[in-house]
Amino acid sequence: MEQKLINEFNRFALSKGISSSKMDYYMKRLNVSNIHAPNIIEERQLNISVLDIFSRMMMDRIVTIVGAIDENMSAIVQAQLLFLNSLDKTKDITCQINTPGGSVIHGLGIVDIMESIECDVSTQNMGICASMGSVLVSSGSKGKRYTLNSAQIMVHQASSGAQGHVRDNSISHYQTEKFNYLLMRKLAENSGQTFETIIELADRDRWLDSDESVKLGFVDDILIKEGVIPVGELMKGFDDYYNNIIMPRLRNQDIR
């Protein structure tokens, strides 16, 4: 049954124009530092299945979004969301996200699919959701957006790195401003904050711990079991520590 599901997804992805090379590329991206994803062996009556862990997680309707967002990641994640939606439109899909950000247009492509399918999409910040990642995690179905205790969100302005002729650079700058406006509007809509608040918040890199992420409305709750101390509690007193201990040391440091 498990291998049949994976084969069905592969056929579905191919029918959507996703090449096998893109599939292979994305699976390699999931293997951190070239360490192969562990295999899961499941034994059932008259059947033994061997699957990599990410394929097994997809069977439980869990989609993994890890690493920089690009066209290959976007294509595979879009296909996974569409495939799982086609299997059962009444069950939630969970997107586990751990990304430093990446391509705005390809990230928005994932968001568009999340918001167009019938399934609710639950999002989970598994470590860092920075830049475009902050939009992804906050775009989950309201009430079903989560963060791990130590995970962080980072919001900031869009960037372009445009090069070339002066007039082309002005066109690129204009397009980047449009993307930045769209992302800020999206974050405002997702969080319930005003557009002006988001613009001020994201004027420079702004890091949010799990407590701040919930308070500002980017996620709905922290995944933490009873008895574990929230990061927000652990970080109380940091400003005094930094201003009264670290800063005096830096000021008095001999830099000759």
Selected catalytic residue, list 122, 138, 156, 191: 156
Selected catalytic residue, list 49, 55, 131, 139: 131
DSSP string, 96-145: EEEE--B-HHHHHHHHHHHHHSSS-EEEEEEEEEETHHHHHHHTSPTT-E
- Please give the Cα distance from 80 to 102 (Å, whole number): 20
Q: Which of 103, 172, 89, 177 is nearest to 135 (CA)?
A: 103
CA distances from 3 to 40, 49, 221, 228 (A): 12, 7, 34, 38
Is 159 one of the annotated active-site residues of the chain? Answer: no
Q: Which of 48, 23, 52 is nearest to 36 (CA)?
A: 52
Is 106 one of the annotated active-site residues of the chain? Answer: no
**What is the length of the chain?**
256
Determine the longest span between alpha carbons in the chain, in angstroms: 74
Active site residues per annotation: 131, 156
